[in-house]
C-alpha cells in the first residue's frame, strides 16, 4: 500500500513540474509582448533573477522571447 502511494506521488510530482514549466514559458511570452525588450538575453536574465527560476533554462527562454518578438515585428 505504501509503495503504491509513493508511485502516485512521483507521478503527480512530475505533472506539477511540467505544469510549472509551462506557466513560466507562458508568463515570459506575455511579458515579452507587454514590454517588447530590445535585448532578449538581458530581459531573460533579469526575469530569471527576479522570479528565481532555476538555472539552465536561459537559452530556451531566450529563444521563446526572440520568437515572440519576431511574431510581434512581423505583424507590424
21's grid cell: 514549466
Measured CA to CA, the distance from residue 74 to residue 26 in angstroms comes to 20
Q: How confident is the model at residue 3 (pLDDT cuts 50, 70, 90)?
A: very low
Q: What is the pTM of this model?
A: 0.72
- pLDDT score recorded for residue 19: 60
User: Which residue, 20, 56, 33, is CA-closest to 43?
Assistant: 33
Give me 15's grid cell.
505533472
Query: What pLDDT, in 10s, does the model give residues 4-60?
Result: 444 344 344 433 355 677 899 999 999 999 999 999 999 999 999 998 988 788 999
Domain locations in the chain?
A: 2-75
Amino acid at each position: 500500500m505504501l509503495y503504491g502511494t509513493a508511485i502516485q506521488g512521483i507521478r503527480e510530482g512530475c505533472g506539477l513540474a511540467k505544469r510549472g514549466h509551462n506557466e513560466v514559458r507562458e508568463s515570459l511570452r506575455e511579458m515579452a509582448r507587454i514590454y517588447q525588450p530590445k535585448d532578449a538575453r538581458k530581459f531573460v536574465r533579469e526575469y530569471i533573477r527576479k522570479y528565481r527560476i532555476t538555472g539552465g533554462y536561459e537559452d530556451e527562454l531566450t529563444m521563446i522571447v526572440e520568437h515572440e518578438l519576431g511574431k510581434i515585428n512581423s505583424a507590424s
